Each structure stands twice: as structure tokens, then as C-alpha cells.
């Protein structure tokens, strides 16, 4: 198929509605596009254990981008390879040390599918336990023994900006950080230079699909590079304003089947 496209889907706020479900309409459209020879993939900030359910629901056969590009692999083909770019463990422990200057609720380190909590927190453990990870609780400076794929700092809203400014001033050359959307006031940290676009480029090269035939959907600041990189960057109707300004087009919200609406129009799909 000469004009096959690579369709890249963020999860939260994009593919998933507010109940964390894929709508039947969206699933039907994506299934039709797969049958027509197009490639569908997921690019998310989530770990694989928390995205595998949706990968399988869509019957995907492509590599997946997790942790915003810090972990890229092919769930069905171990021979494809694995790209894991964790933070330096000493930098991670320095970040924990520096956070003592600020008011924060917790710091979480994820080593692929193992999760380390600086403080025991049932609510956060419940939030992050999808996929049944191995959970360790205790001072990360003592218990963290491997370089983490990513780190999360859970803080009060008014502290997020101060902590991010500190991270930029001290670790700008070795880490990148972003904040989650409300209601979670969380700072997410990965190794510098990593983002979803880096992972998507690896996958598109493997599939031999040029960037002009990449269509990417997103809604948050961790989608900025991906939306900019794709030949067609699509912002959801619920996306942040910065992403809408960068995108080629804005579709409807994740509650209004925005992905399906755009793709039906783009590929002239008429569902029964």
C-alpha cells in the first residue's frame, strides 16, 4: 500500500475518554484503518504495564513508546530490540536530596515496571499499581539500586513551579521535566533529550513510513514534540492552548470521539 500512514495515539485525554475507556466508535475506526494497511501505535507517558491493556484491546502489532520516550520496545517481537534510556542513579538521588528544601508529598521512581515510593502512600500506590508492579517503600537514597526510567514528584500546586525552577537551574543538562495536568500536581522527570518524537522516529524508520505520513494525536505538554514532528499533528479539543497553537488542526475532545471524527473525514470512512 503506497500511502500507508502511521497513526500515533497518546492515551490519557486523547485515545481514552474520561472514564479511561476507548469508545466503540474510535475502536471501529482504528480497526478499519488497520485492515486497510495503516499502522497504529501508542505513545504515552505511562509505563508499559499501564498501557498494555489498551495495546491489546486495539489488537496492535507495532512497537510502543512508554515513559515519554525513555522506553521503546515491541511487545510482540523481542528481536526488534529495546531502547531504555534511564536517568543516572546519582542524579536521581541528588534530586531526592534537593527536594528536602521544598514541601512535597512524595517522590516516586519507576525502574521500568518496578515502582519505588519515598513515603508509603496508599492513594498513590493505588493510582500507580495498574499492571501489578513490584512496589518498594522507603528512602530512595537507600532503597533505589538501579537507574530509574522516570521519577515523579508529587507536590502542592504552589510548589510545582518552584521545584521545576530548581530542577532547571541545577540539572538542566541531564534531565527534562514536565508537569501533569490537574488534578494531579506532579512533576515528571526523564533523562534529557527524550520525548515521544524520539521514539516515534525509531518506529517510523522501522516501518519505512516518512514523517509526512505520520498523524499524531495529543492533548498535553508531553505531546508537544510529537505533534511538531508529525506530518499532521492533531490537537484534541481538550488540549492545552500551546498544543493547539502548534498543531496543524484541532479536532473534537476525547469525550466527543475526536480521533474517530478526524480519521473518518481524513480517510473517508463510513461506519455501518
Which among 160, 141, 73, 140 is positioned nearest to 112, based on CA atoms? 73
Catalytic residue among 10, 12, 176, 219: 10
Integer Cα distance of 52 and 166 in angstroms: 34
Our answer to whether residue 88 is catalytic in this structure is no
Integer Cα distance of 82 and 30 in angstroms: 26
Q: What's 181's DSSP letter? A: P
Find out whether 257 and 25 touch, Cβ atoms under 8 Å.
yes
Q: What's 5's DSSP letter? A: -
- Residue/partner pairs of 27-33 with CB below 8 Å, 24 or more apart: 27/57, 27/58, 28/260, 28/271, 29/259, 29/260, 29/263, 29/264, 29/269, 29/271, 30/58, 30/259, 30/263, 31/58, 31/59, 32/269, 32/271, 33/5, 33/7, 33/263, 33/267, 33/269
List b or e across 22-39, with b for residues whose CB sees 16 or more CB atoms inside 10 angstroms: bbeebbebbebbbeeebb
List, by residue number, the catalytic residues: 10
Amino acid at each position: 500500500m503506497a500511502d500507508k500512514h502511521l497513526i500515533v495515539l497518546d492515551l490519557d485525554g486523547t485515545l481514552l475518554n474520561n472514564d479511561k475507556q476507548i469508545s466503540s466508535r474510535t475502536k471501529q475506526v482504528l480497526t478499519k484503518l488497520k485492515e486497510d494497511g495503516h499502522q497504529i501505535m501508542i505513545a504515552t507517558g505511562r509505563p508499559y504495564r499501564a498501557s498494555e491493556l489498551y495495546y491489546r484491546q486495539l489488537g496492535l502489532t507495532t512497537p510502543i513508546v512508554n515513559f515519554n520516550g525513555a522506553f521503546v520496545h515491541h511487545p510482540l517481537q523481542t528481536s526488534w530490540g529495546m531502547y531504555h534510556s534511564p536517568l543516572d542513579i546519582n542524579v536521581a538521588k541528588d534530586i531526592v536530596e534537593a527536594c528536602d528544601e521544598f514541601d512535597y508529598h512524595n517522590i516516586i521512581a519507576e525502574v521500568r515496571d518496578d515502582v519505588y515510593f519515598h513515603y508509603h502512600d496508599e492513594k498513590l500506590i493505588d493510582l500507580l499499581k495498574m499492571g501489578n508492579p513490584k512496589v518498594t517503600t522507603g528512602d530512595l537514597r537507600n532503597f533505589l539500586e538501579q537507574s530509574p526510567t522516570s521519577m515523579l514528584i508529587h507536590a502542592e500546586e504552589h510548589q510545582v513551579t518552584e521545584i521545576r525552577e530548581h530542577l532547571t537551574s541545577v540539572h538542566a543538562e541531564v534531565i527534562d521535566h514536565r508537569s501533569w495536568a490537574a488534578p494531579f500536581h506532579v512533576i515528571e522527570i526523564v533523562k534529557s533529550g527524550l520525548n515521544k518524537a524520539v521514539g516515534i522516529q525509531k518506529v517510523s524508520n522501522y516501518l519505512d513510513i516518512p514523517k509526512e505520513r505520520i498523524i499524531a494525536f495529543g492533548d498535553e505538554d508531553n505531546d508537544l514534540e510529537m505533534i511538531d514532528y508529525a506530518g499532521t499533528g492533531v490537537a484534541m479539543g481538550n488540549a492545552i492552548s500551546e498544543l493547539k497553537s502548534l498543531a496543524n488542526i484541532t479536532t473534537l475532545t476525547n469525550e466527543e470521539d475526536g480521533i474517530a471524527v478526524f480519521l473518518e473525514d481524513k480517510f473517508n470512512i463510513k461506519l455501518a
